[in-house]
Structure 1
Amino acid sequence: MKAIRRFTVRPVLPDPLQPLSDLARNLRWSWHTETCELFQAVDPEIRRTAECDPVRLLGAVSAGRLAELALDEQFLRRLAEVSADLRDYLDGPRWYQEQLAQGAELPAAVAYFSPEFGVTAALPQYSGGLGILAGDHLKASSDLGVPLIAVGLLYRHGYFRQSLSRDGWQQEHYPVLDPNELPLTLIREADGTPSRVVLALPGGRSLHAHIWQAQVGRVPLLMLDSDVEENAPGEREVTDRLYGGGSEHRLLQEMLLGIGGVRAVRTYCRLTGHPAPEVFHTNEGHAGFLGLERIRELSGTGLDFDSAVESVRAGTVFTTHTPVPAGIDRFDRELVARHFGDDGELPGVGVERILQLGVETHPGGEPEVFNMAVMGLRLAQRANGVSTLHGSVSREMFAGLWPGFDAAEVPITSVTNGVHAPTWVAPEILRLRKGYGGTPGRWDSAADVPDRELWDLRRALRGQVVTEVRERLYASWRIRGAEAAELGWIDSVLDPDVLTIGFARRVPSYKRLTLMLRDRDRLRELLLHPTRPIQIVVAGKAHPADDGGKRLVRELVRFSDDPRVRHRIVFLPDYGMAMARKLYPGCDVWLNNPLRPLEACGTSGMKAALNGCLNLSVLDGWWDEWFEPDFGWAIPTADGLAMDEDRRDDLEAGALYELIEDRVAPRFYDRGGEGLPERWIEMVRRTLGTLGPKVLADRMVSEYVERLYAPAAIAQRALDPGTARQLADWKARVRAAWPRVAVDHVEAVAPNAAGGSAELGSTLVLRVRIALGVLEPADVEVQAVAGRVDAADGISDAQVFPLKPAGGQDLEGRWLYDGPLALDRTGPYGYTVRVLPAHPLLATSAELGLVALPMESMGDGAGLLMR
């Protein structure tokens, strides 16, 4: 029989065991080994079936076992030690507090918004890299003491659980998640009633949401839940699934995340006394509506729209994770308009002003589309990509927002992602490092580990992944309909002494799950090589609506089902954090072969590297900037613009096979006198000791603090209401006057120049005449931009030289500027002159997207040939 109602019966812990409740409710246990081991000791058998979830474990343990533990002095001593350690972790000063003590000007608090968070498998609120990155951001912020408040949605069905049909087709399952069975606490008002946020919807309807809190170390994670009784059935389903539903469903999710999220932060700060955030960080465009809610708040204080925009921009950081326009959320303008204005959310804020924030201005942009990333960039004074290469790709992709500027000058920087080592490093690796003097901040201890010990550990970890794979593969085949009697072959799947390659990630087409299958005969030869075989473990989920991705999964599954190779290549369904934590340490090589440059960062290879796994990857994302032959191998790519897609895949697959056959496998199997692969072990050692420190989330978060959060907080403090009005008025005046700004005349005096050439080390003296209309010299800066030129006179490797006013206006009202131009490089050389807006509160001179250039060719002086 099926129950008509479900509820949770909570255990009553004996008084000596009460600290277990606090330990279970703080997700620090998900990365703190001692806490995990303590819960393991509560009931080892239940712990194995509770999927590493202390809340579920405590709900299942018997009263008799709890009474027994309450009298166990050894367990109580361990409990006291772990509890004291958590208190010290939560209350003691950390890196952030040390920076404050040294006089650093840092924000009182930062609000961090993301549509998904991958903190632990016990809280399945993530689909892939974006969510895992967000979870690692919270954990590293907690470790560093950064006063972060995180905001997301609570999806009652999570993303989805994946299984396979008999013929290998992906099947999706959506289990119902009960918040009362998760490590969450419902935020309540002082009178005990649940706190809630409310959004106005068209037609007089309302969207209500409760606020659940997960505690991630020191960081509160607020999660909005629309499955509440006050909502109509349609509104209750707004937070049903991650990335589910149609356009309006997604729009409502993103309104709740952004607008409702700001209101949830205000509620949390009111109830707890937590400092109000000075900086708001938008992790991808899904939460971009938070800027509109903050504009509404400021409009209530008397600020006009434009002044409120300036104030909001000053304290906002926007991170884009998307390398292609197709990956950005875009809504029909009419749909957005229907949900805002006097009949929806944000009454009093003009709908046309809202719509203008999302207008696409790049070539090919669609006028009837509202672009969430474009709005995010317009409402953030600081923006970044997530690797050096992705920063460059993002500047190209969004250059249309800054017309007249070369892509290199588009104000989007980059902070390369990192991963949270305590979450992803195997306990065996941590113990080995600790045994040789390693600490959380010291990774060079790998240099002291003897070859034999390091190799034996790598083999042991490989053996663990073999066991894990066999268990998961058996379970998968049972779900696919196989009988136990026909699955004896699984006992021989994989070999702990064979080179093991891992490939696990989401399955969009650009990640090329099936590139390894381009030449199946050659792949079989690699898998079945008589002396240097390889084995491959593959996992990944396709989006439920992506039939193309599902076909790729089926293609891979059908190949791996072949009795000739099924002991050497496997596909494991339901990839998630729990599986990933086993795969990274147990693989020897981590494979990544996306279409370059479509991998924004790709952090799975970072997690593998922290465990001594070598990377075999296309030079994309983070691997493009940190690849060295000491750490792994770079797969050559065919990047020609006119390259046929099939031809490109054939070439790159061929390069992959060649690398494995000629370089990777021989190095793994090349054994010295003691039977050890000495060159391989040295690569593992260099990966652990040299690459490891670069890929840490601590490094990433400290960069966000120093390069983005701190400047945003300073800018926010400088923009009081009066200053915000002045800045908005100044921008309006400059924009109105800019059509009359012009570079009228440029002349150059070049000592020792002859016949269009000049000598290296000489200096040009530029004299420029500028028309400013009603503007003053204080409103602008005049620059010479110089560098090598190509056949079309395009300037590359540009340098900027400021030009200064040389007296007042001439008889025609033009302003005179001059300055030196040092000639410090040889070859074809050229320059131009430009005028830009200038104001002390601008983050960059490109901020307004305004530039005035010479109307005509400069004639003599351009394209000098340097000797």
Structure 2
Amino acid sequence: MKAIRRFSVRPVLPEPLRPLSDLARNLRWSWHPETRELFRSLDPEAWRASAGNPVRLLSAVPAERLAELAEDRGFLRRLAVAAGDLADYVSEPRWYQRADGVLPSGVAYFSPEFGITGALPQYSGGLGILAGDHLKTASDLGVPLIGVGLLYRHGYFRQSLTHDGWQQEHYPVFDPNEQPLQILREPGDGAPVRVELRLPGGRVLRAFVWKACVGRVPLLLLDSDVEENAPGERDVTDRLYGGGSEHRLLQEMLLGIGGVRAVRAYCRVSGHPEPEVFHTNEGHAGFLGLERIRELGEGGPDGTRLGFDAALEKVRAGTVFTTHTPVPAGIDRFDRELVARHFGDDGELPGIAVEDVLRLGMESYAGGEPNVFNMAVMGLRLAQRANGVSTLHGQVSREMFAPLWPGFDSSEVPIGSLTNGVHAPTWTAPAVPADARDLKDAELWELRRSLRERLVQEVRRRLYASWRQRGAAQAELGWIDGVFDPDVLTVGFARRVPSYKRLTLMLRDRDRLMEQLLHPQRPVQIVVAGKAHPADEGGKRLVQELVRFSDDPRVRHRIVFLPDYGMAMARHLYAGCDVWLNNPLRPLEACGTSGMKAALNGCLNLSVLDGWWDEWFEPDFGWAVPSADGAAADDTERRDAIEAAALYELVEDHIAPQFYERNGSGVPDRWVEMVRQTLTRLGPKVLADRMLREYVERLYAPAARSQRELTPPAAEELAAWKARVRAAWPGVVIDHVETSGEAGSGEALEVGASLGLRVRVGLGGLGPDDVEVQAVSGCVDESDRIAGRGAVRTPLKPTRGPDMEGRWLYEGPLALDRTGAFGYTVRILPAHRLLAGGAEMGLLVVPSENAASSSDGTGGLLMR
């Protein structure tokens, strides 16, 4: 019989055990083994049944057991140590408090999903796991960060399989009262804090704010399951990445606009400093910039009201935008009319004109769709600093978004790169030592075998549960006891299942794969896991194809698919696998942090050179799968065939022989040395500590400085200056370019020589202080394009002007500092002390074809 209403009844702990409640409600236990072990010792069976959730555990432990523990001196000593350790952790100065320089008083970090622990299922994949690691690392380093997201009452789906291997989705009820969450309340009457958004037609979207403590970092999660909401509004936060366009738009409005309002409420209630920097983790939260513009329009902290353009400059100065997708299809895009209907006088942000909202997100550039509102485009236009999540992804992002900066080479598009990292305490198995250098080869090999043996047991347990769920009888499943072998080379592949990650590339030549799985001397076993998006029928077919192959009685003891991939399963896979496989279509993997987590446990990477592996691969750490190039790169079938063959060859000729080649003591010397190199040399690079310090030093601190410099008068000045420059820019021209130098007409020049440049320009009513005239020089390719990365940009100085025609003369030297085919050009860009870079405004003037002239014939140069 189904209950008509659900309650959560909390236990009353005996007084000596009260610190257990504080420990349970701070998510530090998710990465602190000693605290988890303390909870497990309360009742091991109840701990397993609670799926490692201490809040749920405390509700399940019998009262007599609690009374017994309240009298147990040994347990109370352990409890006191754990409680004292947490108190010290959340209060003592850490790296950030000791760091030098101008640092922000606070950072607000917005993300649509957060993967903190499997017990709090508010994530779907890498974006959320990264966000969770970002918060945990901010806590470890003492960064004053506030996380902001949505609370999904059904989370992301749970995955199971039908008898024929088809993915099924389940959405279990998520009760926040059974989680380490507390509702944010007003300090006076204790009423829940509510955030409200206006919707078309006089409707109102209301949301509660739940707070999770991630160590010393608060995570605010907005929840639309409010009784006063209409059914449609109540379901806005029902599930992660679900629903149609309007549902997604409302989620993103609540995340961005409502998220800023939640931050303001939290700072008011708690006394936490207001954040100076706002970090948008992907475009889903982009509307946060519009809410901050609205705030400034109504009066900033000092009461000064800013116009839209000045407020935009102020907001941009303190905003960081991180893009995670290397493909346009991965970006949320909405119909123009849908967005327009939700803003303006009848919707949200009534003080901001709808056209101002739209122009921030419209694809108003070459190749864009004129009626599409693009969340990533808005994110870039609202942020003065932007980054991709690996060096290669930064390059891909600059090329993908280059139309926003017409005329600039993609290398100059103002999107940097900052490579992701992972939180070691979360992802490193407790058995793995902090320093592997002191372990002998035999000890390191035994450690790896013991981790593999634990994985074998976990695989069998999960495989048994999956087959029972698929309808198999217990009597049919005796074969599972022989699945996997702790002495066999184990390969792992686990991630989301979009087509570009190529889940089934390993099945390209099934006979060859079967030979590897069943090799009499060098067998391989493979564990696979991953979820396809509920709406992705193609992804589901890939899952089914893999499952059906793994069901074959000939190989089912050597290859398995484990459903319901999540954080708890991932920890076992990262620790127990010998090789971590990643074979995306290059360059469509933004970063791919799963291989980083595996590396922290001594697992070797076998990957296409994409994402982070492209920049950090060395033969000491693993293997690179060659990518097809040339014509083959454009032929999907041929590309898959080439890269699958390369993958099989690596396993057959290099990986398996190296794993099974043992010395007299039964230790594979070369393999163990690669494990050691992975732990000691690669491990420190992939840490989230390194990542977050770079965010602070390269992005947060500069954003805070810009935010402080842009006082209301400075913001008004900058906005007025930009308007003046844009109005005058059509009149900015380069009339004439000439050179004088050390060679006669047609002669090649020697490296070390120099030329004098003279450029006649019209500034359209602007002055020399408003622009920078540059010479750009460097090696040229066959089409006379100057290599972007190696180009040298030299400012030229005004020497005369304006003349009777209003023209200015600029001059300067051009150093010939490299050999080979060499060329130069000149250009004009806007210049202002408050711009983050020359490309910020997307304005550029270059010579027309008839503007260039050379007095000595050296306009195109050949160096020797």
Deviation at 1:448, TM superposition (A): 1.8
Map Cα deviations across residues 468-499 of structure 1 (whole Å, 9 max, x no partner). 00000000000000000000000000000000
Q: Does 1:778 align with 2:781?
A: no
Aligned equivalents of 1:649, 1:167: Cα separation in 2? 26
Map Cα deviations across residues 436-469 of structure 1 (whole Å, 9 max, x no partner). xxxxxxxxx3222101110001000000000000
The structure 2 residue matched to 1:329, chosen from 317, 322, 332, is 332
Letter paired with 1:261:
G
- Name 2:647's counterpart in structure 1: 656
Letter paired with 2:370:
P
Q: Does 1:625 align with 2:628?
A: no
Contact 1:747 1:861 in 2 (8 A): no
Aligned equivalents of 1:679, 1:68: Cα separation in 2? 53
Contact 2:739 2:859 in 1 (8 A): no
List runs of 5+ in structure 2 lacking aligned partners: 300-304
Identity over the aligned pairs, expressed in percent? 76
> Where do 1:438-453 residues align within 5 Å?
445-453=435-443
Map Cα deviations across residues 296-323 of structure 1 (whole Å, 9 max, x no partner). 1011122111111101100000000010
- The farther-off stretch of 389-398 and 857-866 is 857-866
Contact 2:778 2:823 in 1 (8 A): yes
- Name 1:23's counterpart in structure 2: 23
- Name 2:637's counterpart in structure 1: 646
Q: Does 1:689 align with 2:680?
A: yes
Map Cα deviations across residues 132-157 of structure 1 (whole Å, 9 max, x no partner). 00000000000000000010000000
Contact 1:156 1:241 in 2 (8 A): yes
Aligned equivalents of 2:356, 2:823: Cα separation in 1? 42
Letter paired with 1:699:
R
Deviation at 1:48, TM superposition (A): 1.7
Q: Does 1:802 align with 2:802?
A: no
Map Cα deviations across residues 768-807 of structure 1 (whole Å, 9 max, x no partner). 1111121000001111101111222111131111111224
Q: TM-score, normalised by structure 2?
A: 0.98
The 3-state SS of whatever aligns with 1:411 is coil
> Where do 1:64-213 residues align within 5 Å?
64-99=64-99, 102=100, 104-190=101-187, 191-213=189-211
Map Cα deviations across residues 489-510 of structure 1 (whole Å, 9 max, x no partner). 0000000000000000000000
Map Cα deviations across residues 623-673 of structure 1 (whole Å, 9 max, x no partner). 000000000000001133563110100000000000000001011001112
Letter paired with 1:319:
T
Deviation at 1:754, TM superposition (A): 5.0
Contact 1:361 1:400 in 2 (8 A): no
Letter paired with 1:556:
L
Aligned equivalents of 2:10, 2:555: Cα separation in 1? 49
Deviation at 1:856, TM superposition (A): 1.7
Contact 2:734 2:847 in 1 (8 A): yes
- Name 1:405's counterpart in structure 2: 408
Contact 1:126 1:132 in 2 (8 A): yes
- Name 1:825's counterpart in structure 2: 818
The 3-state SS of whatever aligns with 2:791 is strand
- Name 1:714's counterpart in structure 2: 705
Aligned equivalents of 1:804, 1:427: Cα separation in 2? 62
Q: Does 1:581 align with 2:571?
A: yes
- Name 1:498's counterpart in structure 2: 488
> Where do 1:471-620 residues align within 5 Å?
471-620=461-610
Aligned equivalents of 1:122, 1:727: Cα separation in 2? 48
Contact 1:128 1:505 in 2 (8 A): yes
Q: 1:589 to 1:362 in 2, by over 3 A?
A: farther
Aligned equivalents of 1:690, 1:362: Cα separation in 2? 44
Deviation at 1:362, TM superposition (A): 4.3
Contact 1:760 1:824 in 2 (8 A): yes
Deviation at 1:811, TM superposition (A): 3.8
Aligned equivalents of 2:14, 2:634: Cα separation in 1? 69
Aligned equivalents of 2:744, 2:700: Cα separation in 1? 48
Deviation at 1:810, TM superposition (A): 3.2
Aligned equivalents of 1:194, 1:818: Cα separation in 2? 66
The structure 2 residue matched to 1:750, chosen from 724, 735, 741, is 741
Map Cα deviations across residues 218-238 of structure 1 (whole Å, 9 max, x no partner). 100000000011101111000
The structure 1 residue matched to 2:229, chosen from 228, 231, 234, is 231
Aligned equivalents of 1:692, 1:78: Cα separation in 2? 32
- The farther-off stretch of 406-415 and 354-363 is 354-363
The 3-state SS of whatever aligns with 2:380 is helix
- Name 2:422's counterpart in structure 1: 419
- Name 2:291's counterpart in structure 1: 293
The structure 2 residue matched to 1:376, chosen from 375, 379, 395, is 379
Aligned equivalents of 2:594, 2:744: Cα separation in 1? 56
Map Cα deviations across residues 557-600 of structure 1 (whole Å, 9 max, x no partner). 00000000000000000000000011100000000000000000
- Name 1:32's counterpart in structure 2: 32
- Name 2:352's counterpart in structure 1: 349
Deviation at 1:756, TM superposition (A): 4.1
The 3-state SS of whatever aligns with 1:108 is coil
The structure 2 residue matched to 1:319, chosen from 311, 322, 331, is 322
The 3-state SS of whatever aligns with 2:792 is strand
The 3-state SS of whatever aligns with 2:431 is helix
- Name 2:302's counterpart in structure 1: none
- Name 2:49's counterpart in structure 1: 49
The 3-state SS of whatever aligns with 1:820 is strand
Q: For this pair of structures, how many residues does the alignment match?
A: 851
Letter paired with 2:173:
V
Aligned equivalents of 1:580, 1:420: Cα separation in 2? 14
Contact 1:789 1:863 in 2 (8 A): no
Letter paired with 1:611:
N
Contact 2:745 2:858 in 1 (8 A): no
Deviation at 1:243, TM superposition (A): 0.2
Map Cα deviations across residues 18-71 of structure 1 (whole Å, 9 max, x no partner). 110000000000001111111111111211221111111111001111111111
Q: Does 1:63 align with 2:53?
A: no
Aligned equivalents of 1:802, 1:671: Cα separation in 2? 62
Q: Does 1:761 align with 2:752?
A: yes
- Name 1:673's counterpart in structure 2: 664
Which consecutive segments of 4 or more residues in structure 1 shift more than 4 A?
none
The 3-state SS of whatever aligns with 2:212 is strand
